[in-house]
Amino acid sequence: MQTEMGAWTAIVLAAGRGTRMRSSRPKVLHTVAGVPIVSYAADAARISDLNEVIVVVRPDDREEVSLAVGGGAECVEQPDALGTGHALTTALMAVSQESQHVLVINGDVPLVRRETVQALAALHERRRATVTLLCCVMDAVSVQQVGRLQRGARGKPIGVVEAEDAPMPPKGEVEVNVGVYAFEARWLRRALADLKPRHSGEFYLTDLVPRAVADGRRVEAYASQDKDEALSVNTRHDLARVEAAAQRRLRDEAMTAGATLVDPATVYLDASAQLGEDVTVHPNTSIRGMSRVGRGASLGPNALLRDADVGPEAHVGPAVVEGSVLGPRASVGPFSHIRPGSVLEEDSYVGSHVEIKASRICAGAHVGHFSYIGDAVVGAGANIGAGTVTCNFDGKFKHETVIGEGAFIGSDSLLIAPVKVGAGALTAAGAVVNRDVPPGGRVAGVPARPLGLRNGRALVQKEEGVSLG
């Protein structure tokens, strides 16, 4: 039977207080591999382009959660924290009467795959079930404090035993409730209206399972073979455990796609990062945010990329690259920092202990070491000597420095912006350049003045043309 995904509405339960996290940040907005936890659940809920997604939130969290889950999802507020059953009742008021099935996902299970949810939905429709839930068999010693599936005659699911109602067995295997469910919509509306609160005053979603059994309805379970999918986040310890599992998954995916991770356990990836084929990642390297790394590039050891676009065959050593673009074969050396808004064009070179900020280093240009280049354009083939500083800030405003193609900037030059150094021009070591230098010009001194020649000796000329020997 082909699943008609347009007949589904998905509900993500993200209104829990998360008190065990001991955080001012809502639990579902903590991140795993750089992505908010709730975003994973919302993504897994999008089992087709047709189904509607509703996210249940606390009123105070609506704006942030809405931003995290992105467009195409409607946020519904649960003003009173009265449990998962009450949250589902709140969300159901926003579900169209035309929806035949309702998919429910806990917002704190970030490692559930969309493919798993699709398979659960297909099983639910194929078996014409009233309730279908996702389960996973795990070793008792490794299980978190989560509900466990109860099975009755012929192995059919009959209920969920919550962690607070029965202690976990000391050994052996247990079948846990992951927190993903499918319901027949019309039955769900009636059953929720009759749901009774527990002694705590909360309404439990899991109480719908024995209710369906009592109604003589079909209850099914879909078993995940990936134990990581059963991991939920309730504490900081859980968060670390889920992060480790997510990193293993991302590393495996990167290597399967053709990247070499020299020491996988010390490479850290965000879910939004992309690595091309034949990329080599050396130890202790983090690739964060929307970073993209082109074919054949080399990173690390001890590199940090954040929202960086690294071109083919480029190299980043033990350095930091943030919000910047590196062209083909560009190179960044040790202890350098490429700050947001920078572009290093093809074959450009940045050596050690260099900071580049909101600047363009054109093709083949070199910035060797111990320099600061800010709000500048460095022309193709130009050479920047050690200790060069573009003095871009006057205490109130930032100003631009433009260095022409093939220019040579001597060591310890200070370029007082706004200033232009023309193509092929030269500044001598220690020059303080506070006026434009024409193409092919040669300047030296403090402040820098044009250089002339007398009997083979370089002379600094005064403005009125009188030479100083």
Q: Which of 458, 437, 456, 440 is nearest to 448 (CA)?
A: 437
- 369 is annotated as an active-site residue: yes
Provide CB contacts within 8 A for 456, sequence distance 6+: none
Q: Report CA-CA distances (Å) from 197 to 194, 203, 208.
A: 10, 4, 12
- Give the helix ranges, DSSP H, for 184-263: 185-193, 208-214, 236-256
Q: How far is the C-alpha of 56 from the C-alpha of 76, rounded, in Å?
A: 5
Q: How far is the C-alpha of 150 from the C-alpha of 156, rounded, in Å?
A: 8
62-69 contact pairs (CB < 8 A, 24+): 64/26, 64/29, 65/14, 65/26, 65/28, 65/29, 65/38, 68/28, 68/29, 68/36, 68/38, 68/39, 68/42, 69/12, 69/38, 69/39, 69/42
Which member of 30, 337, 366, 369 is catalytic?
369
Q: Which of 363, 369, 403 is nearest to 381 (CA)?
A: 363
Return the CA Rg of the chain: 31
Residue 167, preceding bond cis, omega within 30 degrees? no
Active site residues: 369
